[in-house]
Amino acid sequence: MENLALIDSFSEFKDDKLIDRVTLMAILEEVFRAALKRKFGDDDNFDIIINPDKGDLEIWRNRIVVADGEVENSNQEISLTEARKIEPDFEVGEDVSEEVKLVDLGRRAILALRQNLISKIHEHDNTNIYKQFKELIGEIYTAEVHHIRHRAVILLDDEGNEIILPKDRQIPSDFFRKGDNVRGIIETVDLKGNKPSIIMSRTSPVFLEKLFEQEIPEVFDGLITIKKVVRIPGEKAKVAVDSYDDRIDPVGACVGMKGSRIHGIVRELGNENIDVINYTNNLQLFITRALSPARVTSIKIDEENKRAEAMLKPEEVSKAIGRGGHNIRLAGQLTGYEIDVFREGAEEDVELSEFSDEIEKWIIDELKRVGLDTAKSVLELEVEDLVKRTDLEEETIEEVRRILKEEFEE
């Protein structure tokens, strides 16, 4: 029979690695049955024989012979006279199989068939891509920068699959050029219409955890367990690690000699400051470690309300809070407790809110934002340090310090 343009197109698909022979035949039959339904109203009485290897197919319509003038359904029945044009010895009640030529479907139907076939093949490909990447969620993946947009970077992998790295999943210091290789984790995979939407993230705590697995053999082998990871992407992270083998120092193994092992991870994350902490079931000790590099004098824990009060020497308070309050915030996320920091001798201190008559509220709020909520916590720091930590002008800070000093001079 005539192969026409549609049959020629089989060769375009039969070598596609994502489509096996059985699946291709099923797609082809589905496409042809849809065309037959449109043409004849029903496809139940059609046999479709496909040979995709040769680029060939046959369509046979099966009808019952009825007496002349008694045809009620021309798709299911054929008159005796018409049947005998096919085979002269047919009788009423017999089955007639007649080949349907593709050309009989009409030019427009053939063009629609080809388009429908291509659409079904792409739909199948997209389903396979969706399934493939669904299994990769939470795993590190590398792809190349193809296009840089305002809100996202579009990446392509070696197979030409499109992966999206949104702006809010990029580390603030990330800077990409076309052709750069980018590592991240596959965070989400969804089907939008028939097209898979693959989202990569470099800000997820899981990315940092997977980097530890890649870079540190003891983590990869399971000798060291990562209990929890918390991050402020590009700024600071805390990683709690544990080992069931007493001979292994989990922190030392992760950091390496002079930071040699962790250096590559820090560089990948835009010089993110990473604290590696020994995990322990002793809650007081765990909170104490979580507040490092600050040295804690004592801890008071309220387990019911998930709160902890840490007492520190005055010179350790700023370390516990950290730049922008990052250290204390991450310590709280790591331990699951809201941590309040108190200075030894804090009874002589005064809350900043007590100075609301002399210091504007927005200035007090800015100081509190970086963990400075008492007069002494502000006075303990130099003007230059306060300028770096806050968005306040030097003149404003000097005026605030003058007001606070007067309180203690009285």
Lowest mean pLDDT among 47-56, 174-183, 215-224, 319-328: 47-56
Which amino acid is present at 305? N
166 token code pair: 């949104």
Band of the pLDDT at 31, cuts 50, 70, 90?
confident
176 token code pair: 């990409």
pLDDT digits (tens, 9 = 90+) for 217-238: 999 999 999 999 999 999 999 9
Q: What is the pLDDT of residue 160?
A: 87
pLDDT digits (tens, 9 = 90+) for 83-107: 888 888 888 888 888 888 776 676 6
Q: What is the pLDDT of residue 191?
A: 84
pLDDT at 327 over 50: yes
Task: Find the mean pLDDT for residues 130-148.
Answer: 94
Q: Which among 167, 185, 189 is positioned nearest to 176, based on CA atoms?
A: 167
Task: Find the mean pLDDT for residues 133-157.
Answer: 94
Band of the pLDDT at 2, cuts 50, 70, 90?
very low
pLDDT digits (tens, 9 = 90+) for 173-196: 999 999 999 999 999 999 887 789
Lowest mean pLDDT among 12-21, 39-48, 110-119, 276-285: 12-21
pLDDT digits (tens, 9 = 90+) for 368-392: 888 788 888 888 888 888 888 888 8
Cα dihedral sign for 188, 192, 196, 202?
negative
Q: What is the pLDDT of residue 284?
A: 93
The C-alpha atoms of residue 378 and residue 196 are separated, in whole angstroms, by: 53
Q: What is the pLDDT of residue 273?
A: 94
41 token code pair: 């109203």
User: What interhelical angle do 394-409 and 361-369 show, nearest 10?
Assistant: 90
Task: Find the mean pLDDT for residues 159-182.
Answer: 94
Q: What is the pLDDT of residue 22?
A: 67
Q: What is the pLDDT of residue 1?
A: 40
Mean pLDDT, the chain, whole residue set: 85
Q: What's the pTM value of the predicted model, to 2 decimals?
A: 0.63
Q: What is the pLDDT of residue 93?
A: 85
Higher pLDDT, residue 119 or 83: 83
Band of the pLDDT at 35, cuts 50, 70, 90?
confident
The C-alpha atoms of residue 300 and residue 94 are separated, in whole angstroms, by: 95
Long-range contacts of 287-294 (CB under 8 A, 24+ apart): 287/331, 287/335, 287/337, 287/339, 290/238, 290/240, 290/330, 290/331, 290/334, 290/335, 290/339, 291/320, 291/327, 291/328, 291/331, 291/339, 291/341, 293/319, 294/319, 294/320, 294/327
pLDDT digits (tens, 9 = 90+) for 278-315: 999 999 999 999 999 999 999 999 999 999 989 888 88
pLDDT digits (tens, 9 = 90+) for 306-318: 999 898 888 888 8
Find out whether 284 and 331 touch, Cβ atoms under 8 Å: no
325 token code pair: 């309050």
pLDDT digits (tens, 9 = 90+) for 58-84: 888 898 888 888 888 878 888 888 888
